[in-house]
């Protein structure tokens, strides 16, 4: 009888021990840096970094503006990294713009060098937030702040511009009227011939975001000297970020054969007929000046 009791107790103990959930194991700094370096080469940040994202955030990686896939432009090389504890005051400042479902404990600052041509070298620094875990780290990120309270009814029509202290300097919030029947898109046009250079948000994307708060459009990352950068082929590249409903991402568009050297945001955007000017870009090509506009267009 005594041996039977002991065997039952042992079986129960082993069963409980076997059911205990094992803490997820993080990756080393070197592994995460190597994955980031691969993403710099082909632009597939989600593909390379997703295996190292915290398990509670994997399903939300599409909401991380700074981890979106993008087409590689100039050749970029990772030339340095510094891992340090996250500073509470810096995280608090970011919380004006982002919510952190998993609070970071460390920041991995990555220094990247780009050489658009033989005479030019551009250096930028990008923070990658991490949380310490068993055996290493997980990548964590902030999602765009949804606000502390939800409005009781549809938000009123509103179009605003602001300068920020977060990862992107310039932010436009585009909120159509709640009963609007029109469709909207965000595009880049050449002033000279009114031709569309790029469509940044399609009517399908904006329609899916209808009634879910303003569409947010961001230009000029805070680690860049200008909102545009040259490419090895003589084009100009303009990175941007956006949030449309539950979808967020980072991307870029290219202005072919033009060396951009001027940019101006429209600080009080308003419709002129069915177009709303958000920003202007200008540059030189073949000794002449070319101008471009970023516009919010309704149909």
254-299: per-residue pLDDT in tens?
Answer: 999 999 999 999 999 999 999 999 999 999 888 789 999 999 999 8
Which pLDDT score is estimated for 27? 92
Exposure string (b/e) for 44-82, b if CB count within 10 Å is 16 or more?
ebbebbeebbbeebeeebebbbbbbebeebbebebeebe
Task: Tell which wins on pLDDT, 268 or 149.
Answer: 268
pLDDT-derived band at 13, boundaries 50, 70, 90: very low
pLDDT digits (tens, 9 = 90+) for 169-179: 999 999 988 77
pLDDT at 186 over 90: yes
Using only C-alpha atoms, the chain has a radius of gyration, in whole angstroms, of 24
CA–CA distance, 108 with 52 (Å, rounded to integer): 14
* Region of poorest pLDDT, from 41-45, 154-158, 171-175, 277-281: 154-158
Kindly state the tokens that stand for 210.
């209808």
Say if residue 8's pLDDT is above 70.
no
Q: Pull the structure tokens for residue 290.
A: 């070319």
Cα 15 from Cα 49, distance rounded (Å): 36
Higher pLDDT residue, 61 or 191?
A: 191
DSSP-derived pairing of the beta strands 275-285 and 259-265: antiparallel
Predicted local distance difference test score (pLDDT) of residue 25:
80
In eight-state DSSP terms, residue 25 is B
pLDDT tens-digit map of 81-103: 999 999 887 777 777 677 889 99
Q: Residue 16 above 50 pLDDT?
A: no
Cα separation, 89 vs 164, whole angstroms:
16
Residue 19 pLDDT greater than 90, yes or no:
no
Residue 76 pLDDT grade (very low, low, confident, very high; cuts 50, 70, 90): confident
Structure tokens belonging to residue 125: 């620094």
């Amino acid at each position: 009888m005594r041996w039977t009791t002991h065997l039952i107790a042992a079986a129960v103990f082993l069963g409980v021990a076997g059911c205990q959930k094992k803490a997820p194991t993080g990756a080393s700094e070197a592994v995460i840096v190597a994955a980031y370096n691969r993403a710099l080469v082909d632009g597939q940040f989600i593909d390379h970094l997703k295996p190292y994202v915290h398990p509670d955030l994997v399903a939300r990686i599409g909401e991380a503006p700074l981890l979106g896939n993008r087409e590689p432009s100039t050749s970029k090389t990772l030339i340095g990294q510094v891992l340090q504890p996250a500073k509470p005051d810096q995280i608090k400042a970011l919380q004006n713009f982002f919510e952190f479902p998993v609070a970071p404990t460390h920041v991995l600052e990555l220094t990247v060098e780009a050489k658009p041509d033989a005479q030019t070298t551009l250096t930028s620094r990008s923070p990658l937030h991490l949380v310490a875990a068993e055996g290493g780290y997980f990548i964590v990120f902030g999602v765009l702040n949804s606000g502390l309270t939800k409005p009781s009814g549809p938000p009123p029509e509103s179009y605003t511009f602001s300068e920020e202290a977060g990862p992107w300097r310039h932010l436009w919030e585009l909120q159509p009227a709640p009963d609007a029947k029109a469709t909207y898109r965000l595009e880049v046009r050449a002033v000279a011939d009114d031709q569309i250079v790029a469509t940044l948000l399609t009517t399908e994307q904006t329609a899916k975001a209808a009634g879910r708060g303003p569409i947010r459009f961001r230009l000029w990352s805070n680690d860049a000297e200008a909102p545009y950068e040259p490419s090895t082929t003589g084009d100009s590249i303009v990175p941007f970020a956006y949030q449309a409903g539950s979808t967020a991402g980072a991307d870029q568009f290219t202005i072919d054969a033009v060396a951009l050297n001027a940019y101006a945001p429209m600080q009080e955007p308003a419709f002129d007929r069915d177009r709303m000017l958000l920003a202007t870009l200008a540059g030189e090509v073949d000794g002449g000046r070319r101008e471009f506009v970023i516009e919010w267009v309704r149909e």
